[in-house]
Amino acid sequence: MSRKPVHLAVYDTFADWETGHTTAYLARAGYEIRTVGPGRETVTTIGGVRIQPDLALDEVRPEGSSLLILTGADLWDSSDDLAPFARKARAFLDAGVPVAAICGATAGLAREGLLDDRDHTSAVSFYLAATGYSGAERYVDADAVTDGRLVTAGPTEPVAFAREVFRLLGVYEGEVLDAWYRLFHDSDAEAYAVLEKAAR
């Protein structure tokens, strides 16, 4: 079965560590990962890695995607440069296409009003409160939260973030999803046997 690609937003100060588990295992599951920048010019991550985006943001359409991933970046809090990515997230959610946001990207979604009526999480509640958004009562103190088609997580939870994405897209389920999480989050060696058995 042909799957639509997953779109990974990339921009200057992109937080390198936040999506590695997610994109690696989505790719292993058969999803093409396509990077999306503000334009097609090279961007540089927090770690100094240079990325040449596959697409510019205005080229991406929800109907051609399985998921939009928004990662943290210093730019979410220091300027309005990334606001167009939050507006694109709105278009995706309005079209019924999933969005997954971690770290500073959650603040961008808060400013866009996308967390006012959805359960969500982030680094800490007061980080989002500083955006002036109206969704504080929907904040959940958890490693990662899924509400409908939206996944949110804080910067210290890349494995839980990946778990929620996999659950949402049906990449892993039940015992296998739990084992994957235990292996990468808890270093539970016994979980490896479950994954090996499932892969046969």
Q: Give the angle subtended at the CA of 22 by the CAs of 115 and 87, to the nearest 5°.
A: 35
* DSSP-derived 3-state class of residue 44: strand
CB atoms within 10 A of CB 182: 19
Q: Of the residues 75, 101, 102, 103, which is catalytic?
A: 103
- Phi/psi of residue 51, each to 5°? -125, 130
Question: What is the Cα–Cα distance from 142 to 83, expressed in whole angstroms?
Answer: 25
152 noted as active-site residue: no
Residues 6+ apart with CB under 8 A from 48: none
Q: Which residues are catalytic?
A: 103
